Amino acid sequence: MSRFYDVVVIGAGPAGIFTALELADTGASVLILEKGLDIRERIALNRDKNAPPKDRRANIVCGWGGAGAFSDGKLTLTTDYGGNLDDYMNKGELAGLISYVDSVYCRYGGAERKVYGDEFAEEIHELKRKSAAADLMFIPARIRHLGTDVNSVILANMRDSLPDNVTVISKTAADRILADKDGTVLGVEAGGETYHCKYLVAAPGREGAEWFMKEARALGLETQSNAVDIGVRVESPAEVYEPITKICYESKLVYFSRSFDDRVRTFCMNPYGFVVTENNAGLQTVNGHSFAHKKSGNTNFAILVSKQFTSPFNEPISYGKYIASLANMLGAGPIVQRLGDLRDGRRSTVERIRRGLVRPTMPSATPGDLSLVLPYRFLKDIMEMFEALDQVAPGANSRHTLLYGVEVKFYSSRIALTNQLETKFRNFFAIGDGAGITRGLVQASAAGVVVGREICAREGKPKGDM
């Protein structure tokens, strides 16, 4: 059976949602295909403590809202990090898009949430000075923190706002992209159905990255491998990082290791947050989030080592999954270890974790030894990073600091795209984290705006607020 839509969007993460929002009032027939659950089903499953663990894990990264649905909803209001959209437009254009995306999140329920980074200029300057003295580059950012709880409400409001010309089919994964040999994209096969369209927007999240790259190569699209980021999720008493988090809710600290000159960075800092399990195609990795109205006594963030592979190896996602599989093999899921135990060459035990000064917010993690999982090069980079961080936030390098492993960010290979984020096939666009050009809520959303507006322009239906 075949159906026709003006626009088919693969994936209901931020990129796909914002594409649909831009097209919602044009009258164009839009179909969104999503392999996971719709938003209210996701929320209900997330709250159901009796649900099968396998279903709960799969729900973390798939469904309406994508992997960001149960993140802590940090809107990174800067062009300095969060993706690679500045490769397709100038910084001024990107800044305008980011401001617009922020206004949309505010319209759907985020207006009351605080923006961090609009003050403390002197303190930021001092943090930059201290960081530079420790061989760290401190990159502050304006952050609107929605919180995991508020973020899910916003996503539900966006879903409810869609008019009848936008159809959402959940629990239906795209199987194959259909195209003619002359470079015309015809549509997509999904769940035994064929959906033809004039415009196809592939907006996969990280969960769909491997599938999308396989389809891209089958279509003969040129791809370029991105780096894979592998590391640990760090958890310390919140007071340790208050010199940073009181000034900038989240910032980037970048370090180039003495031993290997590898790029090491902090990622996704969550003051008073919680460490959680993330499911990546059956592999359990770690992540973190924080709520608007619920707090722990700890701050967590990732330390990630970026590795760009060169010829002949060209499978960074497979490499990252292999590392994650070692942790799952040894710990039946994520492993937790005290930094002091890692330095002393011994595994952590339940008793050692219990005697530590940091109460783990993910008690299901298995005490173990991350040196059996992470290669020496990554461990050396991470140890050096802690030494540098301790000069900016004294106590960071404490032996009681908890490390959860592994955290892996599968930034897929990047497809060659035009400045309109279009592939070499006419009317076939590729956006989202799974397409390798974005790395967070704001730039993924902004990519959807770019594509939605481009389709509107081609159809002669510009939006009034463009």
Domains in the chain: boundaries: 2-110+146-224+413-459, 228-410
List the one residue out of 69, 337, 22 whose CA is nearest residue 163.
22
For residue 412, pLDDT over 80 is answered with no
Question: What would the mean pLDDT of 23-41 be, rounded to a whole number?
Answer: 96
Residue bearing the bigger pLDDT, 121 or 145:
145
pLDDT at 456: 96
- Interval 320-363: pLDDT, tens: 889 999 999 999 889 999 999 999 999 999 999 999 999 999 99
Beta bridge partners of 278: 285
For 137, how many CA atoms within 13 A lie in the half-sphere containing its CB?
9
In angstroms, rounded to a whole number, what is the distance separating the alpha carbons of residues 461 and 201?
18
- Interval 273-329: pLDDT, tens: 999 988 777 788 999 998 888 999 999 999 999 988 877 776 777 888 899 999 999
User: Does residue 200 contact residue 429 with C-beta atoms inside 8 Å?
Assistant: yes
Question: What would the mean pLDDT of 152-167 be, rounded to a whole number?
Answer: 96
pLDDT at 462: 62
Residue bearing the bigger pLDDT, 63 or 183:
63
Residue bearing the bigger pLDDT, 453 or 72:
453
Alpha helical stretches, state H, 81-222: 91-105, 121-133, 148-161, 209-218
pLDDT at 464: 39
For residue 121, pLDDT over 90 is answered with no
Helix%, strand%, coil% for the chain, nearest 5: 40, 25, 35
Hunting for tokens 């919180």 — which residue is that? 147
Q: Token digits for 336? A: 């937790």
User: Does residue 69 contact residue 12 with C-beta atoms inside 8 Å?
Assistant: no
Domain 2-110+146-224+413-459 is found in CATH 3.50.50.60: yes
Residue bearing the bigger pLDDT, 222 or 383:
383
List the one residue out of 297, 295, 281, 183 whose CA is nearest residue 236.
297
Question: What would the mean pLDDT of 128-141 be, rounded to a whole number?
Answer: 95
Question: What would the mean pLDDT of 237-257 be, rounded to a whole number?
Answer: 92
Q: In which band, very low, low, confident or very high, does the pLDDT at 1 lie, cut at 50, 70 and 90? A: low
Question: What would the mean pLDDT of 416-432 be, rounded to a whole number?
Answer: 94
> Average per-residue pLDDT in the chain?
92
